[in-house]
Amino acid sequence: MQKNDEFIIDIIDVTSDGSGIGKQDGMAVFVPLTAVGDRVKVKALKVKKTYAYGKLIEILNPSGDRIENDCPVFNKCGGCAYRHISYSAESKLKENKVYEAIKRIGGIDLKPQKILTGGSYLYRNKAQYPINCEGKAGFYAFHSHRIIPCKKCLLQPEIFEKILIAVEEFVREYNISIYNESVHKGLLRHIYLRIAEATQEIMVTLVINGSNLPYDEALIQRLKAVCGENLKSVQLNINRKDTNVILGDICKVIYGNPYITDILCGIKVRLSPLSFYQVNRQMAEKLYQKAAEYAKPDNKEVLDLYCGAGTIGLSMAKKAKSVIGVEIISEAIEDANYNSKNNNIHNAEFICADAACAADMLAKRNINPEVVIVDPPRKGCTQELIKIITDEFKPLRVVYVSCDPATLARDIKQFTQCGYSLQEYTPADLFPRTTHVETVALLIKK
């Protein structure tokens, strides 16, 4: 195969980032925007030794999974991967993605429980928009810092678009300078929006390369006109660093409270701009209910590692004998302690530390949890942590909540080599229309 060759292939599989895969001359060809079951005409864009990247030229025979794409920036903005196939096809792909990872990387051939789905398609309760040099908010293109202007995102509540329009008008009228990352100059870097779905409380945070926002009163008036009573918090996040990390460490309230409050699994959850919170509240509830079903916390000691603002552990605390949460970000631990008090929970304790260090320390304190929950970031648990769990705590049940099937599978393998077996696992679609999928797995002591 040579670059620019054109040929016809059948799409037989998808990659983890949503590209279709076909075969030509014994080589895998990756073709974005295709669906399993398509027969397509493709042009080779890049040819390597064992695989190639192709561009879709024409769909000769469409897959039965295809639907009409409804978003003008699909495949430009870097958000959705699956607006061209039905949701039922997408959820099957995700179920299979988790199954394949556990089989291939984890070495265990066990079918998943049915993927958890449902909730709103406008599910995102959080968005961070860069702003282009003309003062238009949008999203970064896939793997890039090119800004695709877009205010109406089909995964986000409609109020976000109205807020963006208000901020853009304010920026134009008061000549607020826009941050230019190539020269590290200009004031406004990002607009960061959060909504607490259950209460509809709204938080607007402007990330700025400076310490003040001129004419901030005028901005607040405009935001009030758009959000009404639901506007509970307007903040500045100070980020003067020459970095592509979006948020700085310091937040300054310019209107209302420093946080908004959502309700998750019956728990009031205080959210400040810096603390982690699942972006899909309705599906997070289903995920945590499944985690509780696996954990069986009734009258047991529960250890919740990587606990964020404490949500998983607190949602089980009323049934459990005690809960200990561990998290590395101090603001999240402050939120966890507050959330515990605010919900009249008296049997929870939170520790700000690295999960493995805290586990080591707790093992020395002779803590004996019957259930250990882990919910690590994408890179998964450290080997050291798994060793402490399996050799020191030896809990009857480990509940593993994961946002990355590959590292989940890797870690499950280590657990199974250390006296645990994978009882069952359930994928959960917290991110419809994107490639991401969560999983909750139950490991039991052999």
Give the count of beta carbons closer than 10 Å to the beta carbon of residue 411. Answer: 26
* In the block, residue with structure tokens 């895998």: 28
Q: Which residue has the tokens 């050291």?
A: 384
At closest approach, how far in Å is the CB of 234 from ligand SAH?
24
Of 311 and 435, the one with the shorter C-beta distance to ligand SAH is 311
DSSP bridge pairs for 400: 374, 441
Q: What are phi and psi of 286, to 5 degrees?
A: -65, -40
CB 281 → ligand SAH: shortest distance, Å? 11
Nearer to ligand SAH, 90 or 327 (CB): 327
Residue nearest to ligand SAH (CB): 308
Asked whether 275 and 311 are in contact (CB, 8 A), the reply is: no
Sole binder of ligand SAH in the list 354, 360, 384, 392 (CB under 6 A): 354
| Total residues at interface with ligand SAH (CB under 6 A) | 18
Distance from chain centroid for Cα 176:
31
The conformation of residue 146, written as its DSSP 8-state character, comes to -
Active-site position among 71, 77, 153, 403: 403
The 284-313 site mask, x for binding ligand SAH (CB under 6 A), equals ----------------------xxx--xx-
Amino acid at 247: L
Strands 397-402 and 13-14, bridge-based pairing:
unpaired
Q: Which of 64, 72, 377, 419: binder of ligand SAH (CB under 6 A)?
A: 377
Minimum gap (Å) between residue 349 Cβ and ligand SAH: 15
Q: Build a one-symbol-per-residue string for 78-97: x at contacts with ligand SAH by CB under 6 A, - elsewhere.
A: --------------------
| C-beta closer to ligand SAH: residue 267 or 332 | 332
Q: Does an H or E element contain 18, and which?
A: none
SS3 369: coil
Sole binder of ligand SAH in the list 82, 276, 393, 425 (CB under 6 A): 276
* Residue (21 or 430) nearer to ligand SAH, CB: 430
The residue within the footprint of ligand SAH, chosen from 148, 303, 316, 355 (CB under 6 A), is 355
Q: Which is nearer to ligand SAH, 307 or 388 (CB)?
A: 307
Q: How near is the Cβ of 103 to ligand SAH at its closest, in Å?
A: 26
CA distance 290 to 386: 22
Instruction: Tell me the C-alpha to C-alpha distance, in Å, between residue 285 and each of 261, 275, 430.
Output: 16, 18, 10
Of the pair 148, 401, the CB lying nearest ligand SAH is at 401
Count other Cβ atoms within 10 Å, centred on residue 389.
27
The span from the CA of 424 to the CA of 413, in Å, is: 14
> Which residue type is seen at 421?
S
| Least CB distance to ligand SAH at residue 364 (A) | 18
Nearer to ligand SAH, 14 or 403 (CB): 403
Site string for ligand SAH, 308-347 (x = CB under 6 A): x--xx-------------xxxx--x---------------
Contact pick of 233, 278, 402, 414 for ligand SAH (by CB under 6 A): 278
DSSP annotation of 229 reads G
Are the beta carbons of 441 and 132 closer than 8 angstroms?
Answer: no
418 is catalytic: no
DSSP for 296-347, written as a single string: --TT-EEEEES-TTSHHHHHHHTTSSEEEEEES-HHHHHHHHHHHHHTT--S
CA 53 to chain centre: 28
In whole angstroms, how close is the CB of 264 to ligand SAH at the nearest point? Answer: 9
To the nearest whole angstrom, how small is the minimum distance from the Cβ of residue 410 to ligand SAH? 16
93 contact partners, CB below 8 Å, separation of at least 6: 14, 36, 82
384 binds ligand SAH (CB under 6 A): no
Nearest distance in Å: CB 318, ligand SAH: 17
Nearest CB to ligand SAH, comparing residues 176 and 312: 312
Question: Alpha-carbon dihedral of residues 291, 399, 345, 321, nearest 10 degrees?
Answer: 120
User: What is the smallest separation between the CB atom of 135 and ligand SAH, expressed in angstroms?
Assistant: 33
Nearer to ligand SAH, 205 or 311 (CB): 311
Gyration radius (Cα) of the chain, Å: 24
The sign of the dihedral angle between the CA atoms of 335, 443, 410, 90 is negative
| Residues carrying an active site annotation | 403
Interacting residue ranges for ligand SAH, rule: CB under 6 A:
276-278, 306-308, 311-312, 326-329, 332, 354-355, 375-377
